[in-house]
A and B are shown apart, each in its own frame.
Chain A
Amino acid sequence: MTTKIGIDVGGTFTDFLVVSDDAEPQIFKTLSTPKDPSIGLINGLTDIAKAAGSTLEAFAPTIDTIVHGTTVTTNATLTRTGAKSGLITTEGVRDALEMRRGIREEQYNNRYTNVPPLVPRYLRAGVRGRLDRKGREIEGLELDDVRAAIETFKAESVEAVAICFMNAFANPAHEKAAGELVAREMPDAYLTVSAELLPSIRFYNRVSTTVLNSYNGPKLRAYIDALMKRLADTGFKGVLLIMQSNGGVVLPETAQTTAAMTLLSGPAAGPVAGLGYAEAHGQKNCLTVDMGGTSFDAAMVLDGVPITANEGEINRYRIALPMLDIVTIGAGGGSIGWIDEGGLLRMGPQSAGADPGPVCYGQGGELPACTDADLVLGYLDPGYFAGGKLKLDVDAARKAIEEKIAKPLGMSVEEAALGMYRVINTNMAQGVREITIKRGFDPREFPMVVAGGAGPNHACMIGEELEIPLLIVPRESSIFCAAGMLMSDLKHDFVRSYVRRIDDGDWQTLNALIAEMRAEGDALLDSESISKDRRDYILKLDARYAKQYHEVTHEAPISAVEAQDGEAIKALFHAEHNRLYGYSLEEQGTPVEIINVRLQAVGRTDKPAYTQESYAGADPSPALKGERKIIVPETGEAATVPVYDGHNTKFGYRITGPAIIEQENTSILVTQSYDCVCDQYGSFAVYQKGREELVKPSLEAVA
């Protein structure tokens, strides 16, 4: 028997999905422990063991694999609470990091300010020593300058050092020498050397990515060390894997040296998970939204593939590493309601998080949060939150909303709570617009897979605003990303520079480079115990027409390189260039040159299989557990609506909105514009009233 656990640490809750050969997947949730997230993680494992009638010490050694997504680096970057960092760079260019090439993203907005640099100017040291454009030394590295920088860093208690020199992509010698000195003099500092992390041209991309890595390194390193120690103490002997921004997983040691690759570790599993649920409804495209306690993530899957980017930004800091394209905004159950200077009601981005949490948690929170509003409006059961583990204090929530929102705005508590609910829904709808409409897609054409503990309570109103006709709420929605982690493959990305025209190809060298990357990939996959028949190697070439500045990355079969078939490779490039940019220079015979060779080594993992339920009829009354008074969001009127037990719904049940479907860890509000049918995989398909054709697979069983 194998046991795998997906663990997603969020800002408020830590989610667990336990999958074993012989049992239904099980969901667990514990409160996150932001000061040391590994504590919450161990708490959760203890709960899982207890639920199985065992102890942590007995259970832990039976776990084969833990896949873990962490927001340690994301939060550090968003809140700028990473390590105190220093930068050693070439004399004369120390401000490049802060200048960001002189861009102002909003050209017409004179109120728009630059982001503070992750390394302040007084900790950016320029040192003498210079390489030319081909990596030839013009001036030797001045180690005394490096020493002076180290002295400053020591005096300022710098914890992390980034090294990035001009033209180091062509010759890493100076960086290596400086790096060795720093490693010797500051053995405890987290060190990132640019040419090791990202050996490619473009100074600004490299310096920014290098600094992001070192800025986040110490926190991630300490966290993973603590986690591995805690797991070892429990007797865990299996494999721990860390989710990366590219949608793949790696070993913890790898993650520790490339901290910047975990900046989207948490949400990166979302699109993979969403696709699984959408496919059950015959869809290859979907939106995924995940509303947790602190943040809201929106992503998109197109033709079965999550949309990705080779470079991007986090909080306007440039990062030139492959990652999934995800829009994140500060909206969650913990988002605090407040009145701005203009007297307008606002929600977030400040969050009450897990500690102290919303007022209704009774843990000392005094500011009204989204969860408080949901509770006052009747969408949450005060006695059944987190399955009853956390009793919610309705009176405290009412009082906070009254004082902070209702009184200043001169309205009733219910009106104020509904206002909070509407404002945060509008914010989240804007996040969905970012990922769809801004990229030229119409959100109405995509089913929206809804995740996160707070998501299903808000999804209908987001859908209503954007006219999205079909929402899919998986039964595991509250631990969506944890589920996605178990569906993710191991992925290792490698890159080598190979600057040469295809017509003048040095095929022997090219094949040797590929073999080298393959060997590195195999070594990692060996350590991850992936058998040979489960390995895939995806070759990509960064190529361009001679004298172009930027490259097109396109897939090429390894067999074509082995066969030295330059014509076939060029044909692929011409076609991709034409698809992306509207023309090719095939007729002109312009030479094509390769710049970089990329190899992704993939280790396919076993995906949890979901059993299909058998049809149980349309009548949902067996799952009816009671009724509750709520404020109907579309009208603002009070109404008594049925409450169903989401753990007892069966395939085929049809529930008419407005209604509430409760599970231990989440609650679905089906508003009066929507109806719901339970599908054969246990998910809830929520569709616009009158649009039954959208959920045909679930209804066809009737016929």
Chain B
Amino acid sequence: MSKSDIDPILLSVFARAFKSITDEMSMSVEQTARSPILCEAKDFVTGLYDGEGRMLEQTENLPILAFSLAPVCKYIIEYFEGDFKPGDVIFHNDVFSMGNQNNDVAVFRPIFFEDKLVAWTAVKGHQADIGGAVAGGYNPNAVEVWQEGIRIPPVKVYDGGTFRKDVWDLIFANIRFDIVQEDMRSQMGATNVGARRMVALLEKHGLDVFERHKLALFDATQKMMEAEIGSIPNGNYSGEGYVYYDGKNKGSKYTIRVDIEVKDKAITFDYSKTDARTNGFVNGTYTSSASATALTLLQMVNPDIPHNEGMLAPLEIIIPEGTILNAGYPAATTFGNHLCPPNADAIQRALAPAIPDRVTAGWNNLLSSLTTGFDEEKDDDYVDIFFMGMKGGAGAMNGTDGYDHIGMIDASGGVLDQDYEMFEQQSPHRLIKHEYLTDSAGAGQWRGGIGIETVYEFGSDNTQLVTFGDGDYEPAFGLFGGGDGTLNTIKLTTPDGNDVVPLNKDLITGLPKGTVYFQQAGGGGGYGDPKKRDRTKLAEEVKNGIISEDTAREVYGYEPASQAAE
């Protein structure tokens, strides 16, 4: 291939068209799905891959899912030994064949052009239920995968355009809620939307031109990524992050240790010294853990680098099987996505001395909850992942405050609060409070993002609550003199006035209607000496009740009198 075969305008047309295809697929799911997890919180990802399963582009509403699609695509190609026909639709969730979490079920659709398999569209989304012992999929008591949900290794639900009713029924006979069927139809529809656009693009430019420019795009992206890595000083860096409570043994703590080697244009993340797997569900899969590593690094490089195969080429990620980040068959792993925050902590701590202006202080860790029950008024089941309550503050960086109420680093502001009114439509619950939490931000010249306080009342009897997360033992850490953020908490008060404090991975059943749920999601860590914080900003924050007067005085050394003199 010679350079002259590449039209630079066309190259950017392709790059943008790929992006607009995955964006359009994303919009399609958002608009048609039933479960608020998908259509309100956008806990799904859409992607476009070439005939060999290489990533062309993705729309990463939730980045932790993003880097888990291409490996599955490659696995599916291998699994069926290339036996694909136009009209095939393939489902997959299996965590032991490159899946990342049981609930995250993917749809893959091969795209044919001139009788050749040339591309794939895919959508992976978090389903409201996946069978197993506990509705909603989070089972803190699980010790192996079969207690968590149904495994779906690659399976054709449409074979050459023919619907396989038997296969479909086998899958959905093992899943509690009917809306999962509808949501999988929504995902299939989106892969069709993407396929139509892709075929139109190929018809316009021809296969040959597409293939040439695709490779040029990978190449250009890889060079950009190599330049970014090249700007990190060569050396070896190590850091740790911590996981508290494995769902089985109270007081247990696990260490994620990363040893990073930067050598010119390449970077290696080695997790060999990470603690061994737990015997509960607090375990990762290789895909979910490697995704966590990639997304953390991507926040330290030019955010405009296109997301395709070339971006990941200079990265090597070593995660030995048997560690908490790659537990191996047949471990329970539903918590795996949520090992991203401590993994990110380890990477930020490791690289802070090398690139102090590109790392952030610690982000608020996820502590989330999920309720299931029966909505009497609507005469229907419901499941609600309480997204709006779990979003704390981001870590600050040199020159920029942490983003307020952004939530876990593995979503980085991609997972949204349910709209309050839609929350009350979809569940029987009633929202009482959802506000910024005063003094939650880690202090600093650049403060951490603000955390929040949320209160709501259960509207169903016999409600089941599952909690999953962390951040109630160790707050988000400050950097270079910045203060820590605040801790996460969840507390329930039943109508008879009793308080119940769930563990951070817990399952509580039979909660009565009228129970009040209280949650704080902590702030992010601060960066630099709080005494150096801009006084005008402080004055505003005090006036708005984001920072209390006491904290302003004691931690920031801010005197309202000196402000008046300015």
Q: Which residues of A contact B (CB under 8 A)?
A: 91-96, 98-99, 101-114, 120-122, 130, 132-133, 138, 166-167, 169, 201-205, 433, 437-440, 442, 444, 466-467, 545, 547-550, 552, 577, 580-583, 585, 590
| Nearest CB on A from B376, distance (A) | 13
Q: B435 contacts the other chain (Cβ, under 8 Å)?
A: yes
Are A549 and B422 neighbours in the complex by a CB distance under 8 Å? yes
Q: B63 contacts the other chain (Cβ, under 8 Å)?
A: yes
How long is the Cα–Cα vector from A132 to B185 in the complex, in angstroms? Answer: 32
**In the complex, chain B residues whose CB is within 8 Å of the CB of A102:** 388, 391, 405-407, 413, 415-417
Are A96 and B422 neighbours in the complex by a CB distance under 8 Å? no
How long is the Cα–Cα vector from A550 to B399 in the complex, in angstroms? Answer: 39
| Nearest CB on A from B29, distance (A) | 8
8 contacts between A and B (CB under 8 A): A93-B434, A99-B452, A104-B403, A114-B403, A121-B544, A167-B421, A548-B39, A549-B40
| Nearest CB on A from B47, distance (A) | 15
How long is the Cα–Cα vector from A437 to B404 in the complex, in angstroms? Answer: 32
Q: B12 contacts the other chain (Cβ, under 8 Å)?
A: yes
Per-position binary interface string of chain B over residues 291-302, scored 1 when its CB falls under 8 Å from any chain A CB and 0 otherwise = 000010011000
Q: Which residue of A lies closest to B121 (CB)?
A: A582
Are B399 and A111 neighbours in the complex by a CB distance under 8 Å? yes
* With known contacts A113-B401, A203-B420, A550-B39, A95–B436 Cβ distance under 8 A: yes
**In the complex, chain B residues whose CB is within 8 Å of the CB of A550:** 30-32, 39
In the complex, which residues 384-416 of chain B have their Cβ closer than 8 Å to any Cβ of chain A? 388, 391, 394, 397, 399-401, 403-407, 411-416
Are B32 and A110 neighbours in the complex by a CB distance under 8 Å? no
* With known contacts A166-B420, A550-B39, A583–B435 Cβ distance under 8 A: no
**In the complex, chain B residues whose CB is within 8 Å of the CB of A202:** 419, 421-422
**In the complex, chain A residues whose CB is within 8 Å of the CB of B417:** 99, 101-102, 204
| Nearest CB on A from B5, distance (A) | 17
Q: B317 contacts the other chain (Cβ, under 8 Å)?
A: no
Q: B20 contacts the other chain (Cβ, under 8 Å)?
A: yes
Q: A204-B419, A577-B32 are in contact. List 10 more A-B contacts (CB 8 A).
A: A107-B411, A107-B414, A113-B403, A120-B543, A121-B546, A166-B421, A201-B425, A440-B24, A548-B34, A582-B28
Q: Which residue of A lies closest to B195 (CB)?
A: A582
How long is the Cα–Cα vector from A130 to B456 in the complex, in angstroms? Answer: 13
Are B400 and A108 neighbours in the complex by a CB distance under 8 Å? no
The 8 A-B pairs of least Cβ separation, nearest first, read A104-B413, A582-B192, A583-B189, A440-B20, A92-B433, A582-B189, A121-B544, A109-B303
Are B190 and A101 neighbours in the complex by a CB distance under 8 Å? no
Contact of A583 among B17, B179, B185, B430 (CB under 8 A): B185
Q: B191 contacts the other chain (Cβ, under 8 Å)?
A: yes
| Nearest CB on A from B348, distance (A) | 11
* With known contacts A437-B16, A581-B190, A113–B400 Cβ distance under 8 A: yes
Q: B60 contacts the other chain (Cβ, under 8 Å)?
A: yes
Are A552 and B424 neighbours in the complex by a CB distance under 8 Å? no
Are A438 and B186 neighbours in the complex by a CB distance under 8 Å? no
**In the complex, chain A residues whose CB is within 8 Å of the CB of B191:** 582
* With known contacts A132-B424, A585-B185, A549–B34 Cβ distance under 8 A: yes
**In the complex, chain A residues whose CB is within 8 Å of the CB of B412:** 104, 107-108
**In the complex, chain A residues whose CB is within 8 Å of the CB of B416:** 101-103
Q: B9 contacts the other chain (Cβ, under 8 Å)?
A: yes
Q: B33 contacts the other chain (Cβ, under 8 Å)?
A: yes
| Nearest CB on B from A308, distance (A) | 15
Contact of A94 among B24, B303, B397, B435 (CB under 8 A): B435
Q: Which residue of B lies closest to A99 (CB)?
A: B405
Contact of B190 among A114, A438, A547, A582 (CB under 8 A): A582
The A interface is mostly helix, strand or loop, or mixed, namely loop
Per-position binary interface string of chain B over residues 416-453, scored 1 when its CB falls under 8 Å from any chain A CB and 0 otherwise = 11011110111000111111100000000000000010
How long is the Cα–Cα vector from A545 to B413 in the complex, in angstroms? Answer: 29
Q: Which residue of B lies closest to A108 (CB)?
A: B303
Q: Which residue of A lies closest to B417 (CB)?
A: A101
Q: Which residue of B lies closest to A133 (CB)?
A: B424
**In the complex, chain A residues whose CB is within 8 Å of the CB of B196:** 582
| Nearest CB on A from B498, distance (A) | 23
How long is the Cα–Cα vector from A112 to B414 in the complex, in angstroms? Answer: 13
How long is the Cα–Cα vector from A545 to B360 in the complex, in angstroms? Answer: 44
Contact of B13 among A98, A205, A442 (CB under 8 A): A442
How long is the Cα–Cα vector from A466 to B10 in the complex, in angstroms? Answer: 10
| Nearest CB on B from A578, distance (A) | 8
Q: Interface size of B by Cβ–Cβ distance < 8 Å?
A: 79
Are A107 and B63 neighbours in the complex by a CB distance under 8 Å? yes
| Nearest CB on B from A164, distance (A) | 11
Q: B353 contacts the other chain (Cβ, under 8 Å)?
A: no
**In the complex, chain A residues whose CB is within 8 Å of the CB of B411:** 107
How long is the Cα–Cα vector from A11 to B81 in the complex, in angstroms? Answer: 63
In the complex, which residues 81-129 of chain B have their Cβ closer than 8 Å to any Cβ of chain A? none
Q: Which residue of A lies closest to B540 (CB)?
A: A120
**In the complex, chain A residues whose CB is within 8 Å of the CB of B399:** 111
Q: Which residue of A lies closest to B62 (CB)?
A: A107
Q: B560 contacts the other chain (Cβ, under 8 Å)?
A: no
Q: B531 contacts the other chain (Cβ, under 8 Å)?
A: no
**In the complex, chain A residues whose CB is within 8 Å of the CB of B360:** 110
**In the complex, chain A residues whose CB is within 8 Å of the CB of B188:** 582-583
Per-position binary interface string of chain B over residues 18-36, scored 1 when its CB falls under 8 Å from any chain A CB and 0 otherwise = 0111001000101111101
* With known contacts A201-B421, A437-B12, A581-B190, A166–B404 Cβ distance under 8 A: no
**In the complex, chain A residues whose CB is within 8 Å of the CB of B433:** 91-93
**In the complex, chain A residues whose CB is within 8 Å of the CB of B33:** 548-549
Q: B314 contacts the other chain (Cβ, under 8 Å)?
A: no
Q: B197 contacts the other chain (Cβ, under 8 Å)?
A: yes
Are B39 and A549 neighbours in the complex by a CB distance under 8 Å? yes
Per-position binary interface string of chain B over residues 69-90, scored 1 when its CB falls under 8 Å from any chain A CB and 0 otherwise = 0000000000000000000000
Are B421 and A169 neighbours in the complex by a CB distance under 8 Å? yes
Are B544 and A467 neighbours in the complex by a CB distance under 8 Å? no
| Nearest CB on A from B107, distance (A) | 11
Are A583 and B12 neighbours in the complex by a CB distance under 8 Å? no
Are A440 and B17 neighbours in the complex by a CB distance under 8 Å? yes
Q: Which residue of A lies closest to B32 (CB)?
A: A581
Q: B224 contacts the other chain (Cβ, under 8 Å)?
A: no
| Nearest CB on B from A92, distance (A) | 4
Q: Which residue of A lies closest to B31 (CB)?
A: A550
Q: Which residue of B lies closest to A109 (CB)?
A: B303
Per-position binary interface string of chain B over residues 276-308, scored 1 when its CB falls under 8 Å from any chain A CB and 0 otherwise = 000000000000000000010011000100000
* With known contacts A201-B425, A581-B32, A93–B435 Cβ distance under 8 A: yes
* With known contacts A120-B544, A440-B17, A107–B422 Cβ distance under 8 A: no
Q: B545 contacts the other chain (Cβ, under 8 Å)?
A: yes
Contact of B28 among A103, A106, A444, A581 (CB under 8 A): A581
**In the complex, chain A residues whose CB is within 8 Å of the CB of B60:** 107
| Nearest CB on B from A276, distance (A) | 28
**In the complex, chain B residues whose CB is within 8 Å of the CB of A169:** 421
**In the complex, chain B residues whose CB is within 8 Å of the CB of A110:** 299, 360, 394, 397, 400, 403
**In the complex, chain A residues whose CB is within 8 Å of the CB of B31:** 550, 552, 580-581
Are A547 and B34 neighbours in the complex by a CB distance under 8 Å? yes
**In the complex, chain B residues whose CB is within 8 Å of the CB of A121:** 436, 544-546
Q: Which residue of A lies closest to B66 (CB)?
A: A107
How long is the Cα–Cα vector from A167 to B421 in the complex, in angstroms? Answer: 6
* With known contacts A107-B412, A433-B16, A549-B33, A101–B419 Cβ distance under 8 A: yes
**In the complex, chain A residues whose CB is within 8 Å of the CB of B434:** 92-93, 95-96
Q: Which residue of A lies closest to B387 (CB)?
A: A102
How long is the Cα–Cα vector from A621 to B17 in the complex, in angstroms? Answer: 45
| Nearest CB on B from A117, distance (A) | 10
Are A108 and B30 neighbours in the complex by a CB distance under 8 Å? no
Contact of B420 among A96, A138, A549 (CB under 8 A): A96
How long is the Cα–Cα vector from A547 to B177 in the complex, in angstroms? Answer: 13
How long is the Cα–Cα vector from A442 to B544 in the complex, in angstroms? Answer: 47
**In the complex, chain B residues whose CB is within 8 Å of the CB of A104:** 403, 406, 412-414
How long is the Cα–Cα vector from A154 to B413 in the complex, in angstroms? Answer: 36
Q: B193 contacts the other chain (Cβ, under 8 Å)?
A: yes
| Nearest CB on B from A123, distance (A) | 9
Q: B455 contacts the other chain (Cβ, under 8 Å)?
A: yes
